[in-house]
């Protein structure tokens, strides 16, 4: 089975005052805009909110993948879907009733994803895989860009890929955190097909070139 590679640009590390042009600059080499939402409670950092998401969605540059690193996604997930996210990913660790959130997002005809932090096991998410569109395996502790990729997380990606292939699930396997020249091929070889790239592109002086090169590495190493 061949995977279709999807690249998402995480704008957390883009130039905040030039977000729109930063995205436009890389748009040819990406499929999604990854929009990190942090509430300073679930993670020790604060980032973007609904207002910016809504403004970006009106520009229709690329579909928006909201990654909610916030408490109480039971309340907030639908609000981000309503604000214009095309896909909403919430953290399993923060959700009171994951099945209800899944149902709520799906009823708005949006994709729904669940993210798991490094200390959350594959077993804890396994029974929900058939009900979601995206599994996000965090490859760093959520909260900040520019951290080191955690190789041990690839075991979860491998297990998820086996399950997806075995049961023919319609599930994208996303990795987020520390994806760059040294790590992107490891991630695709383990079975990830949705790669979030932040500082590996935006901290260089030619993000467009970096995105293009990373995309080619992912394509050439995918199964």
Residue whose CB is less far from ligand DX5, 105 or 136: 136
Residue whose CB is less far from ligand DX5, 34 or 110: 34
The interface with ligand DX5 within residues 36-75 (CB under 6 A) comprises 36, 67
Residue whose CB is less far from ligand DX5, 154 or 163: 154
Minimum CB–partner distance for residue 196 and Zn ion (Å): 6
User: Given the structure tokens 């020790």, which residue do they identify?
Assistant: 44
146 φ/ψ sector (left φ>0, alpha ψ -120 to 50, else beta): left
Do β-strands 87-91 and 111-116 pair in parallel, antiparallel, or remain unpaired?
parallel
Known catalytic residue: 31?
A: no
Q: Which residue is nearest to ligand DX5 (CB)?
A: 198
Q: How many residues does the chain have?
A: 223
Which three-class secondary structure state does DSSP give residue 174? Answer: strand
CB 135 within 8 A of CB 191: no
Q: Among 6, 34, 91, 110, which residue interacts with ligand DX5 (rule: CB under 6 A)?
A: 34
Secondary structure of 4-65 in the HEC alphabet?
CCEEEEEHHHCCHHHHHHHHHHHHHHCCEEEEEEEECCCCCCECCCHHHHHHHHHHCCCCEE
The interface with ligand DX5 within residues 80-139 (CB under 6 A) comprises none
Q: Which residue is nearest to Zn ion (CB)?
A: 67
Known catalytic residue: 176?
A: yes
Residue 147's binding partner out of Zn ion, ligand DX5, none, with CB under 5 to 8 Å set by partner kind: ligand DX5
Q: Among 78, 146, 204, 212, which residue interacts with ligand DX5 (rule: CB under 6 A)?
A: 146
For the chain, the first-to-last Cα distance in angstroms comes to: 7
207 binds ligand DX5 per the rule CB under 6 A: no
81 CB-side CA count, 13 A:
23
Q: Which stretch binds ligand DX5 (CB under 6 A): 21-29, 85-93, 126-134, 198-206?
A: 198-206
Residue whose CB is less far from Zn ion, 2 or 135: 135
Residues that bind Zn ion (CB under 5 A): 36, 67, 176
Residue by residue, DSSP assigns 93-162 as: GG-S-HHHHHHHHHHTT-EEEEEE-TTS-HHHHHTTGGG-SEEEEESS-TT-SSPPP-GGGHHHHHHHHH
Q: Which of 31, 36, 65, 86 is catalytic?
A: 36
Q: Which active-site residues does the annotation give?
A: 36, 176
Residues that bind ligand DX5 (CB under 6 A): 10, 12-13, 34, 36, 67, 140, 142-147, 176-179, 196-200
């Amino acid at each position: 089975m061949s995977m279709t590679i999807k690249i998402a640009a995480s704008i957390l590390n883009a130039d905040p005052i030039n977000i729109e042009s930063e995205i436009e600059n890389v748009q040819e080499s990406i499929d999604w805009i990854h929009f990190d939402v942090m509430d300073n409670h679930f993670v020790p950092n604060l980032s973007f909110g609904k207002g910016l998401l809504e403004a970006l969605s009106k520009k229709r540059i690329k579909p928006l993948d909201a990654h909610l690193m916030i408490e109480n996604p039971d309340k907030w997930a639908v609000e981000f879907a309503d604000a214009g996210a095309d896909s909403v990913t919430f953290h399993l660790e923060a959700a009171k009733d994951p099945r209800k959130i899944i149902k709520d997002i799906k009823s708005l005809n949006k994709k729904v994803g669940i993210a798991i932090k490094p200390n959350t096991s594959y077993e804890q998410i396994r029974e929900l895989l058939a009900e979601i569109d995206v599994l996000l395996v965090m490859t760093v502790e959520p909260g900040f860009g520019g951290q080191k990729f955690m190789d041990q997380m690839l075991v979860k990606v491998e297990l998820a890929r086996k399950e997806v292939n075995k049961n023919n699930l319609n599930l994208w396997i996303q990795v987020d955190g520390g994806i760059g020249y040294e790590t992107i091929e490891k991630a695709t070889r383990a079975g990830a097909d949705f790669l979030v790239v932040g500082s590996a592109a935006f901290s260089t002086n030619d993000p467009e070139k970096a995105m293009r090169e990373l995309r080619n590495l992912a394509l050439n190493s995918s199964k």
